[in-house]
Amino acid sequence: MEEKKIIFSGIKPSGNLTLGSYLGALKNWVDLSDEYNCYYCIVDMHAITVRQDAAQLRRRTLEQLAQYIACGLDPAKNTIFIQSHVPAHAELSWVLSCYTMFGELSRMTQFKDKSAKNADNINAGLFTYPVLMAADILLYQADLVPVGEDQKQHVEITRDIAHRFNSVYGEVFTMPEPFIPKVGARIMSLSDPDSKMSKSEQGGMGCICLMDSPEDIMRRFKRAVTDSDSCVRYDPENKKGVSNLMAIYSAASGKNFAEIEAEFDGKGYGDFKTAVGESVVELLRPIREKAEDLLKNKDYLVQIYRDGAETAAKAAARTLRKVYKKVGFVER
Ligand code: ATP
Ligand code: LTN
């Protein structure tokens, strides 16, 4: 029997999961989980590159696990675990940092963005963040990394690091490919269509979280920023707000852009926003209800992440052992 190809992806428990995290990443994780051998991680070590409240981080990590499962990830089919539970991530990260150049890390867009937003805390972890992400991916010999558009550059640097290492030591790492969805790869804020919907910037009218109530979701869609020409047409250059709403509606309803344009031909933005809001409410309703249910059973969640870490640690240890040997560390 041919071995299944491998997938790795992760999300930081840095805030409640958003519609962006769902449409850009999680939805595809679920779709890919039959065909691939999948490792889905809660990357808590990445989360602390910006300051987190300890109690909140602990709570969010568990909530995120419940939301992964509620989105449709079956723990019996996927390895779901918490990054800090598998020490090999930190260990490989150190080795890889010696094969990553200062210059290439300096060019990372996310580093530039986050340092601008956290000017009082531009720490070394924020800078070496992509190295830890490369370690996450390469430890499992992943073939595919399902992420949103914003993470493409990090998968590319992972490939560069793997290539550099393999050129010295032979084929140690599998070369991973990013998997970016056609629709939903970059969901923008509802209140500011020029900036990405982001989970660390919640509270405003621009962000939809998976756990939001139907009333909150509808209110935000009704107030979403559009334009003054009252025509539902896909034009991401000139009609950013409307195009973003169309992308959301398309991903939530399965309709393509032409169908959506026809559906709202001659109708105003009011009807359109209501329809988009309702499709998102129905998309998220079962997820929210299931997650709320799962959170009542902590023992079950603990069992899932412990089992996940055990499986992940075994796979990770194989790669780490090989790497340590290649670089010349004396065997324990
Ligand atoms: P933070 O604000 O803490 O940096 P984030 O909201 O940007 O977090 P992550 O948790 O870092 O999101 O990302 C999780 C996954 O979801 C990644 O694969 C990322 O590419 C994807 N993603 C995040 N936001 C969006 C978005 N607005 N549109 C599409 N995909 C997204
Ligand atoms: N950097 C990613 C989260 C992340 C990740 C990974 C994604 C950490 N490690 C490995 C895919 C594979 C982010 O900011 N969204």
On whether the CB atoms of residues 17 and 199 are closer than 8 A, the answer is yes
Cα of 281 to ligand 1 centre, how many Å?
Answer: 20
Which architecture does CATH list for 6-180+298-327? 3-Layer(aba) Sandwich (3.40)
The pair of structure tokens assigned to 96 is 């890889």
Q: ∠153-154-157 over CA atoms, to 5°?
A: 90
Ligand approaching nearest to the C-alpha of 150 = 1
pLDDT in tens, 27-84: 999 999 999 999 999 999 999 999 999 999 999 999 999 999 999 999 999 999 999 9
Q: What value does the mean pLDDT take over residues 220-236? A: 95
Which residue in the list 196, 239, 240, 296 is annotated as catalytic?
Answer: 196
User: Among 273, 328, 323, which residue's Cα sits nearest to residue 95?
Assistant: 323
Of residues 61, 42, 157, 178, the one with CA closest to residue 110? 157
Ligand nearest to the CA of 68: 1
Q: Tell me, what's the pLDDT at 180? A: 95
- Does the pLDDT of residue 1 top 70, yes or no? no
The residue ranges of every structural domain in the chain are 6-180+298-327, 199-292
Q: Rounded CA gap, 288 and 294, in Å?
A: 10
Can you tell me which atom of ligand 1 is nearest the CA of 198? 6
Q: What is the mean pLDDT of residues 269-286?
A: 97
* Cα–Cα distance for residue pair 234/247, rounded to 1 Å: 9
CA 148 to ligand 1 center in whole angstroms: 7
Residue matched to tokens 């720490």: 123
Q: Is residue 199 annotated as part of the catalytic site, yes or no?
A: yes
Atom of ligand 1 nearest to the CA of 201: 2
How much distance in Å is there from the Cα of 33 to the middle of ligand 2?
18
- Percent of the chain at pLDDT > 70 equals 98
Say whether pLDDT at 183 is over 90.
no
pLDDT at 293: 98
- CA separation for the pair 10, 139 (Å, rounded): 13
Q: If you take atom 5 of ligand 2, which residue's CA is the nearest one?
A: 10
Which candidate in 12, 114, 239, 273 is catalytic?
114
Q: Is 12 in the pocket of ligand 1 (CB under 6 A)?
A: yes
Closest CA to 272 of 303, 250, 295, 289: 250
DSSP for 94-118?
HHHHTTS-HHHHHT-HHHHHHHHHT
Q: What is the pLDDT of residue 89?
A: 98
Ligand 1 in contact with 186 (CB < 6 A)? yes
Structure tokens at 269: 């933005």
Q: Whose CA is closest to 134, among 154, 150, 158?
A: 158
Active site residue 196: yes
Whole-structure pTM value: 0.95
pLDDT band of 3, cuts 50, 70, 90:
confident
* pLDDT, tens digit, 9 for 90 and up, residues 91-122: 999 999 999 999 999 999 999 999 998 899 99
CATH code of 199-292, in short, is: 1.10.240.10
In this structure, the residue with its CA closest to atom 2 of ligand 1 is 200
117: annotated active-site residue: no
Q: What is the pLDDT of residue 199?
A: 80
Ligand 1 atom closest to residue 151's alpha carbon, by position in its atom list = 20
The DSSP bridge pattern shows strands 144-146 and 177-179 to be parallel
Rounded distance between C-alpha atoms, residue 151 and residue 155, angstroms = 7
Report whether 33 contacts 53 (CB < 8 A): no
In this prediction, residues 258-272 reach a mean pLDDT of 96
Cβ neighbors of 330 (< 8 A, separation 6 or more) are none
Classify the phi-psi angles of 254: left when phi > 0, otherwise alpha if psi is within -120 to 50, otherwise beta: left
- Ligand 2 atom 12 nearest Cα: 9
Q: What is the pLDDT of residues 130-173, one digit of tens each?
A: 999 999 999 999 999 999 999 999 999 999 999 999 999 999 99
Mean pLDDT over residues 225-235, rounded? 94
How many A from CA of 100 to the centre of ligand 2? 17
Q: Is residue 200 predicted with pLDDT exceeding 80?
A: no
Residue 10 alpha carbon to ligand 2 centre in Å: 5
Ligand 1, atom nearest to 147 Cα: 18
Whether 201 shows a pLDDT value over 80: the answer reads no
